[in-house]
Structure 1
């Protein structure tokens, strides 16, 4: 079974840019400028040839490692060049975390962004409802008397009286002998 992000690979890209500047003033969660990419090992071409770290479902191998090499990873990198049977499970996990930001299961896990979006939509709907109630109670005048049923019936009776014998309008649908509608 294919991953759910393979259908829309552009939505499955969470990248850390290292070649472009972020001077827009907006907070980008995983953006690294060129100064932060310094010291990271260049391990490949990447998806498009620039020095970016990207967690992507359709292109698994980033151009640079996720973390800089330090005192913890240096001996493990030397040990990695030998037989991998000599590496413990913890050593392999540490090496993985130095190369990649997250695992495939972490990458595909739901983020829960729908919760604040739903809360915002519900808040807007409730504010609009309270505003409409406020307008109905305090701003709009009461309905004029012409909207009352008694007034409408009186108007129809007056029309029937004045238009007796006409073949158009309400008078054409009223039986004057039986005093009821046809």
Structure 2
């Protein structure tokens, strides 16, 4: 940190002057950056060398303590320098809470934020479905008659009549004399004969 401060002094000054304000003008609640480090004890390098408190699962030791020293913790800090057997359980918990924001169990505990994410995802899906339904009902024109099954069957029947005399394909199975076979029956026989041939 010292080398970075000497090499880039303007960057250091700028990082101390700027902050991350929200639209309301207040600092972001969970940002414990250099501007909030004033008065906190520097205890180590941290994960990147900055004077910032960050709870991270991959690097659990921040560079500064979570809370500033006050009249409550000073006598316990003096007792901490001696034998730890003289510290009570409450003193040890207080020392921990002044150094860290939360325990590892609290850090890994589920936050319930998945409910918000799931609600947002389902809302987007439902809005997209409603939009698609609205577009298909009120905006797109009616499907042309060529997509109806009756039209397709008549078109196929016309094709069969025009291809009369072919000895390959579906016309081979059509009864031209009676003209009573349904086109679907002709197609069924044609497809089943192709499966047998394979």
Q: Distance in 1 between matches of 2:33 and 2:47?
A: 18
Q: Relative CO higher for 1 or 2, CA cutoff 8 Å, sep ≥ 6? A: 1
Question: Unaligned 5+ residue runs, structure 1?
Answer: 1-18
Secondary structure of the corresponding residue to residue 55 of structure 2: strand
Mark the structure with the bigger radius of gyration: 2
Kindly provide the CA deviation profile for residues 14-67 of structure 1, in whole angstroms up to 9, marking residues without a partner as x: xxxxx6754586875422343321111112232333322232334332221111
More helix by share: 2
Match for residue 40 of structure 2? 40
Question: Unaligned 5+ residue runs, structure 2?
Answer: 1-14, 190-198
Q: TM-score, normalised by structure 1?
A: 0.73
In terms of mean alpha carbon deviation, does 138-147 or 120-129 score higher?
138-147
Q: Distance in 1 between matches of 2:34 and 2:156?
A: 82
Q: Determine if the alignment matches structure 1 residue 135 to structure 2 residue 135.
A: yes
More strand by share: 1
In terms of mean alpha carbon deviation, does 31-40 or 149-158 score higher?
149-158
Deviation at 1:150, TM superposition (A): 2.5
User: Aligned pairs, how many?
Assistant: 164
Q: TM-score, normalised by structure 2?
A: 0.68
Match for residue 165 of structure 2? 165
RMSD, aligned CA: 2.9
